[in-house]
Amino acid sequence: MSAGAALEFRVAIREAIVEEMERDESVVFFGEDIAAEQGGVFAVTPGIQERFGTERVFDTPISELAITGAAFGAAVTGLRPIIEIMFGDFMGLAMDSLINQSAKYWYLSREQRSVPLVVRSAVGGGGRFGAIHSQTHATWFQGVPGLKIAFPSSPAEAKGLLKAAIRDDNPVIFLEHKRLYSVKAQAPAPGEVLPLGQARVARPGRDLTIVSAGKGVPDALEAAGQLARDDRIEAEVIDLRTLRPLDIDAVLASVARTNRMLAVEEGPATGGWAAGLLGIVAEHGLHDLDDVWLLSTDELPIPYSPTLEDAFIPGAAAIASAVRERAGVVVGR
């Protein structure tokens, strides 16, 4: 697809997998229902098995631990597996293979064997999937050295980051927010690969830095547009792109310009990446900041009720409201 054309998020994921499998014969792809006619629950991967055959693309039994164990074995013997754990909530079943084997094998083998594998999962609320199919599991893995975590916010980011993840010699957790699958936006330049660990300024501003990842980025951009239009508040939006490693330099550079920071996370504050980021900003000695705070979900499981779920997730309206409240803006004045 040419740069500038509209690209759907789910198609961006598919294109990245196909292009990397064409580029490198060691790339294989397997998981639950990924080779089915519809291409999985979210119709992301149809036609890939027909293109590359059953030895490189295949469905697995319903066992997340078996999938990640097979991926670890494949990776240390020369392949570059991409696997899909259908919902991120099920990553708890795969913990041992990922955090005690894949993440540590480079270290334990005295740097003799890398583990180049990618774990794709659908994450996030807003789809009425209920409490055990709507979590974002990134923070379960953030304290594990040896893992990387990517969380794209747009089709172009999804394609470029997934290509980088597949080429990386470390295990990469790749998060795909459900409410982004049908989003269409500008395609990346042909062959573009986005480096892991490098954030971007999604919108420049002077009054406030809003930091987020995944679906939080388009929500922050929408909120920034409302604030600029209605309140003359110019917010800078930072898209982290990856949650491990965090691009601290990009965040600090933005905060140095604006002197204020709001971190937005779809997840509880306790143990979340947003709280950790605020701590890092404080650690780096920015004592003259006017304000830093976070917006997250309540300390509760994600509700199934559409009304409750909508109120639970910090979307664009909640972000704009939080900024106005913090800035002392009187709405409607």
Tell me: do 179 and 207 sit in the same domain: no
Q: Evaluate whether 86 touches 31 at the Cβ level (below 8 Å).
A: yes
**Token pair belonging to 9:** 């998020």
* Res 121: pLDDT: 97
Assigned domain for 26 exists? yes
Assigned domain for 107 exists? yes
* Res 327: pLDDT: 85
Which segments of 32-102 are extended strands (E)? 57-59, 80-87
Q: How far is CA 72 from the centre of its chain?
A: 22
Assigned domain for 1 exists? no
Question: In this model, does residue 331 exceed pLDDT 50?
Answer: no
Q: What's the pLDDT band for 329 if we cut at 50, 70, 90?
A: low
User: Last residue of some domain: 163, 186, 209?
Assistant: 186
Tell me: do 231 and 144 sit in the same domain: no
Tell me: do 164 and 223 sit in the same domain: no
**DSSP for 162-191, written as a single string:** HHHHHH-SS-EEEEEEGGGTT-EEEPPPTT
Q: What is the mean pLDDT of residues 300-309?
A: 95
What are the Cα distances from residue 131, in Å, to 82, 120, 179?
Answer: 26, 20, 16
Tell me: do 80 and 223 sit in the same domain: no
Q: Evaluate whether 227 touches 233 at the Cβ level (below 8 Å).
A: yes
257, 9, 331: which is closest to 154 by C-alpha?
A: 9
* Res 81: pLDDT: 98
**Mean pLDDT over each residue of the chain, to the nearest integer:** 94
Tell me: do 28 and 142 sit in the same domain: yes
Tell me: do 219 and 320 sit in the same domain: yes
* Res 333: pLDDT: 40
Assigned domain for 193 exists? no
Question: In this model, does residue 282 exceed pLDDT 60?
Answer: yes
Q: What is the mean pLDDT of residues 48-72?
A: 97
Tell me: do 239 and 109 sit in the same domain: no
Q: What's the pLDDT band for 243 if we cut at 50, 70, 90?
A: very high
* Res 320: pLDDT: 97
Q: What are the residue numbers of the active site?
A: 133
Instruction: State the residue range of the domain holding 77.
Output: 6-186
Tell me: do 168 and 60 sit in the same domain: yes
Tell me: do 178 and 214 sit in the same domain: no
Q: What is the mean pLDDT of residues 234-260?
A: 96
Q: How many domains does the chain have?
A: 2
Tell me: do 57 and 109 sit in the same domain: yes
User: Last residue of some domain: 151, 186, 221?
Assistant: 186
With a CB cutoff of 8 Å and minimum separation 6, the contacts of 148 are 165, 168, 170, 171, 172, 173, 196, 197, 242, 244, 245
DSSP state for residue 130 in the 8-state scheme: -
Q: What is the mean pLDDT of residues 5-30?
A: 97
Q: What's the pLDDT band for 255 if we cut at 50, 70, 90?
A: very high
DSSP state for residue 134 in the 8-state scheme: S
Degrees to nearest 5, angle at CA 55 with 12 and 192: 25
Assigned domain for 194 exists? no
Adjacent-strand bridge partners of 85:
121
In angstroms, the CA 44 to CA 269 distance is 31
104: helix, strand or coil: coil
* Res 328: pLDDT: 79
pLDDT by residue (tens digit) across 127-150? Answer: 999 999 999 999 999 999 999 999
* Res 202: pLDDT: 98
Tell me: do 29 and 171 sit in the same domain: yes
Question: In this model, does residue 252 exceed pLDDT 50?
Answer: yes
Whether the bond between 245 and the residue before it is cis, its omega within 30 degrees of 0, is: yes
Assigned domain for 332 exists? no
- Return the CATH number at 261: 3.40.50.920
Which of 3-7, 89-93, 250-254, 281-285 has the lowest average pLDDT?
3-7
* Res 284: pLDDT: 83
End-to-end CA distance of the chain: 47
Assigned domain for 65 exists? yes
Assigned domain for 191 exists? no
pLDDT by residue (tens digit) across 175-214? Answer: 999 999 999 999 999 999 999 999 999 999 999 999 999 9
- Return the CATH number at 156: 3.40.50.970
pTM summary value: 0.95
In angstroms, the CA 163 to CA 40 distance is 20
User: Last residue of some domain: 162, 186, 210?
Assistant: 186
The letter for the amino acid at 313 is I
Tell me: do 182 and 205 sit in the same domain: no
